[in-house]
Amino acid sequence: MTAHPADRATARIMVCPALLFVAVFALYPAMDSLVLSLHRLYVSLPGLESSFIGFDNYAELFRDPAARQTFIVTLGFVVLSTALELLLGTGIALVIHERFTGRGGVRAAVLIPWAIPAVVASQMWRFLANDQYGALNLMFFGDRTDAYVPWLADPWTAFGVLVAADVWKTSSFAGLLILAGLQSIPEETCDAARIDGAGAWQRFRHITLPLLKPALLAALLFRTIDAFRMFDLVFVMTQGGPGDATQVIQFYGYKTLFVEGRVGYGTAVSVTVFAATLLLSLAYLRAVGSTLLSRAST
């Protein structure tokens, strides 16, 4: 059944405002950033005419040892935080999926960390990790002030606190996505397996987990992209320190562009982050699509 030409024309007219909005607020800034990344431009020298240098900024980025260090830190943060968030999110989803008294209140309470603004959560964790009066030292060492740990002054503990803060804030969001996947699994399938004598672990491994794969991939997609673009935690808590131990690629781009005033090079960093997240998104979407197709065929 084909649509009437008048209906197709009406549909195109109704879509035009949305396309215009995307073009003005998404496509134009992205293209303008790409153009800026191909020039040598400094904020401190506004009178100097910007010169077109092609892909020299990108070549410098890949040769820059500081950029390589930030990429390693970012990759470690993405892998560790995403893995922990998926693990905890799955546990949260399994708990709040069960029927028990007060389940609605528990579901609402679980989402509180995710609902807190990122800057507020970052400031809260910075106070928790304070080496003089922070709750982490009080909890682990009590009044033994000589044993207090400078959590944000040591490279390893500062990185660990950043990961913990991100996991605390966003695991509930991953759990919400996984809960949606759990609720789409037919209860009759699990009931039949229970009647056949399958235990809880067997039902989870052979029934729940395979059917939950699309939801897990969707949660992995969103959390990987957000972790790769992480900026606010570093900006509020550590400013990339101590040294460059917690300097992620987004914060490095911010420092290069707004602190050092290297507009072309800083924009090249941002465009590289955009390209990396785009490739990751396409790869995850392809995996989700193939999973859904295989699930539908079975």
CATH topology of domain 80-292: MetI-like fold (1.10.3720)
* Per-domain residue ranges of the chain: 80-292
pLDDT confidence of residue 296: 55
CA dihedral 212, 216, 218, 224 (to 10 degrees): 180
pLDDT confidence of residue 76: 93
Packing angle of the helix pair 155-183, 118-128 (nearest 10 deg): 130
pLDDT, tens only, 247-292: 999 999 999 988 888 888 999 998 998 888 888 888 877 877 676 6
Helix H segments across 111-154?
Answer: 112-115, 118-128, 135-141
pLDDT confidence of residue 85: 93
Packing angle of the helix pair 213-228, 263-297 (nearest 10 deg): 180
pLDDT confidence of residue 83: 93
Whether 220 and 86 have beta carbons less than 8 Å apart is answered as yes
pLDDT confidence of residue 120: 92
pLDDT confidence of residue 168: 94
Whether 160 and 72 have beta carbons less than 8 Å apart is answered as no
Residues of the chain below pLDDT 70: 1-5, 45-50, 289, 291-298
pLDDT, tens only, 214-238: 888 888 888 888 888 889 999 999 9
pLDDT confidence of residue 111: 86
Distance CA(184)–CA(176), nearest Å, equals 13
Query: Which among 222, 246, 123 is positioned nearest to 170, based on CA atoms?
Result: 222
Distance CA(181)–CA(138), nearest Å, equals 40
pLDDT confidence of residue 297: 58
Question: What are the angstrom distances between the C-alpha of 41 and each of 27, 46, 67, 171, 269?
Answer: 22, 8, 19, 40, 14
